[in-house]
Structure 1
Amino acid sequence: MPESDMQTLTIIQPDDWHLHLRDGDVLKSTVPQAARQFHRAIIMPNLKPPVTTTEKALEYRKRILDALPSGSDFEPLMTLYLTDNTSPEDIKRAKESGIIHGAKLYPAGATTNSDAGVTSLDNCIATLEEMQKQGIPLLMHGEVTDPSIDIFDREAVFIDRVLIPLRKKLPDLKIVFEHITTREAAQYVSEAEGYIGATVTAHHLLFNRNSLFQGGIRPHYYCLPILKREENRQALLKAVSTENRRFFMGTDSAPHAQGAKENACGCAGCYTALHAIELYVQAFDEIGALEKIEWFTSINGPKFYNQNVNRNKITLVKKEWTIPQDLPFGENRVIPLMAGETLNWQLK
């Protein structure tokens, strides 16, 4: 159980089960910021070009490790980018490598750098069958891309059109429903049979879609899946603070240079790697559920991924601090979520 005296909170060191670090010079800032609080992280593979093979994942992993501060024990857990051409043999090699912990499904066109994603699951059945056999989880960006479907309904429609039929075909395939945002998704994951879990971001626990438009369009709150109605936020808060062990922390921290966000066609993604654990603690504190947070941040994820729970602990203190207005991002700057605003908890 977490240790709390109203002014401090001590929990098992958390892991981030959905993290974007990008590549190149920006790793010098994104990697240390994530390593500040997390011991492990599932690393998203949607680079340009994407991480489609075990060999590319090994190379990317080395670049991440090279960017770590001296003495850090942060461990990147690598994933493959699933395409129409990913073969069962690719999955076998991934399993044999020991460093691949999932394959990410991006429906083509669904989000950042998803153009090379899967156009139809019918193209991947043999590969998914091999993933089921090898025990490699399928990490699903759960939105349909049909332009006739309202953007606020695409996750709920995905459950009916894609997720339920897939799980009938492959009932033993281990699935992570990534960054869920709706009441329908929370209910499905809570009640479904079989091997399914879900990550939930801090921004979807803290904000609803009104935050996109307070005082004008606020691009740094724009993410995909997009923020939803208040009733959906409340459903997520209820899900993560109950005894259901299928929900775990995945920040979906997704940095973009300031100019790429503040743009006529701005990129989707909220950058939270610097202050993710403080954001989650604030969300749980606001609903009086700090005694439940450790399962969500530190236990449920490792158990789902068949990893040991971390031994180290971290402590947060109830102390106001101001989130920086911007942060280094290679030759550019990145604006963190809630830039210039105050949080009530700080990592000690």
Structure 2
Amino acid sequence: MPDRLLLRRPDDWHLHLRDGAMMQAVLPHSAARFGRALVMPNLVPPVRTAADARAYRQRILAALPHDTRFAPFMTLYLTEDTDPDEVALAHASGAALAVKLYPAGATTNSHAGVRDLDAVRPVLERMAEIGMPLCIHGEATDPDVDIFDREAVFIDRVLRPLRRRVPDLRIVLEHVTTQDGVDFVRDTPRHLAATITAHHLVLNRNALLAGGIRPHLYCNPVAKRERHRLALVEAAVSGDRRFFLGTDSAPHPDSAKLSPCGCAGLFTAPVALSVCAAIFEAARQLPRLEAFVSLNGAAFYGMAPSADRIALVRGEAWSPPAAIPCGEDRVTVFDPGFPLHWRVEESA
């Protein structure tokens, strides 16, 4: 197996940068490894308009380290009050690349999300007309649905009917976690793709719960059974262009994670590429890593791959910092539970 891989600089098609001090703390870790990222809009208040998106993008650019080439692409937060004309304006002006659908109550800062899909049908139809993608947090939030079944139920209750009603809408099923999600993407002939996170490639629900609750492994969607993890690995390493990396790196201060009602989200940006390389190496599919992290997502979003390149080098095991400072608090870095041997070569 090779010990050095030269790749087009990877893209992160699902990233949380937060704002303010948190953004200042975490942004350099994504910018050092990725050339472009699709930034999620679930701030408080959320990013709802073209003006909001432009202002947020300027804050990100202002926070970048000097001499860093990193392009943030923005998303709009879909609400039941979203104006189709505002969405079309954001798309035409380049203010936003996609729209994000959060079912209300599904995850962090999703309380303003969608409860009735019919209420946003005019927006979705306009998006289909102009070719603007919809990124979906695919979980049912009905209280009668078991948390480990939320993705499968969402596909049956929401996504299948949506595909029938608006067949030309381009959809990304974000952070897919189940065999059901993988199968649905594969069985859909067009206009559907899925992001897969690095952490869902290595975690099953035992990692979260067996032997004690591990809050630093708690995320939404939660990790599922081992058979689902294996389905995600198989999809990621398959070379299928409909699957690509979206880290869903989602930092929270430890004071919020380690609380009676801890936040969902893992800060994976410093290690996501190293984890993916380890997974592809174990599957003996390192030649397909570049497609998953650098090519497939760009193709779905209609972009050329990055012209820049990075080198991933395999060597002695290394350890990322256990945490990074954030103001008077800190943010724990995701620990995959095994030694990391692949790392980005700083001089590449």
TM-score (ref. length: structure 1)? 0.96
In structure 1, runs of 5+ residues without a counterpart are: none
| Conservation of the 8 A alpha-carbon contact between 2:16 and 2:40 | yes
Query: The residue matched to 2:340 in structure 1 has which SS?
Result: strand
| Conservation of the 8 A alpha-carbon contact between 1:249 and 1:301 | yes
Q: Distance in 1 between matches of 2:276 and 2:51?
A: 34
Selected match of 1:267 from 263, 266, 290? 263
Residues 238-278 of structure 1 deviation map (CA, whole Å, 9 limit, x = unaligned): 11111321001000000000010011100000110112111
Q: Distance in 2 between matches of 1:119 and 1:224?
A: 18
Alignment partner, residue 95 of structure 2? 99
Q: Could you say what the CA RMSD is over the residues aligned between the two structures, in angstroms?
A: 1.2
Q: Distance in 2 between matches of 1:143 and 1:64?
A: 29
| Conservation of the 8 A alpha-carbon contact between 2:8 and 2:309 | yes
- 1:190 Cα deviation (Å)? 1.1
- 1:193 Cα deviation (Å)? 2.2
Alignment partner, residue 44 of structure 2? 48
- 1:6 Cα deviation (Å)? 2.4
Alignment partner, residue 334 of structure 1? 331
Alignment partner, residue 7 of structure 1? 3
Selected match of 1:311 from 292, 307, 311? 307
Q: Where does 1:1-348 land on structure 2 (aligned, <5 Å)?
A: 6-319=2-315, 320-338=317-335, 342-348=339-345
| Conservation of the 8 A alpha-carbon contact between 2:237 and 2:283 | no
In structure 2, runs of 5+ residues without a counterpart are: none
Query: The residue matched to 2:172 in structure 1 has which SS?
Result: strand
Q: Distance in 1 between matches of 2:35 and 2:124?
A: 29
CA gap of 1:73–1:171, structure 2 versus 1, over 3 A, is same
- 1:96 Cα deviation (Å)? 2.2
Percentage of pairs with the same residue: 50
Q: Distance in 1 between matches of 2:53 and 2:104?
A: 21
| Conservation of the 8 A alpha-carbon contact between 1:323 and 1:342 | no
Between stretches 224-233 and 284-293, larger displacement belongs to 284-293
Task: Give the letter for the 2:320 counterpart.
Answer: I
Query: The residue matched to 1:153 in structure 2 has which SS?
Result: helix
- 1:340 Cα deviation (Å)? 9.0
- Runs of 4+, deviation exceeding 2 Å: 339-342
Query: The residue matched to 2:330 in structure 1 has which SS?
Result: strand
Task: Give the letter for the 1:322 counterpart.
Answer: S
Q: Distance in 2 between matches of 1:25 and 1:150?
A: 35
| Conservation of the 8 A alpha-carbon contact between 1:139 and 1:177 | yes
Residues 291-348 of structure 1 deviation map (CA, whole Å, 9 limit, x = unaligned): 1111111100000001111111111111210121111223320001118963121111
| Conservation of the 8 A alpha-carbon contact between 1:253 and 1:270 | yes
Aligned length: 344
Q: Distance in 2 between matches of 1:187 and 1:297?
A: 21
TM-score (ref. length: structure 2)? 0.96
CA gap of 1:83–1:277, structure 2 versus 1, over 3 A, is same
| Conservation of the 8 A alpha-carbon contact between 2:216 and 2:257 | yes
Q: Distance in 2 between matches of 1:326 and 1:141?
A: 27
Task: Give the letter for the 1:323 counterpart.
Answer: P
Q: Distance in 1 between matches of 2:191 and 2:149?
A: 25
Q: Distance in 1 between matches of 2:281 and 2:215?
A: 26
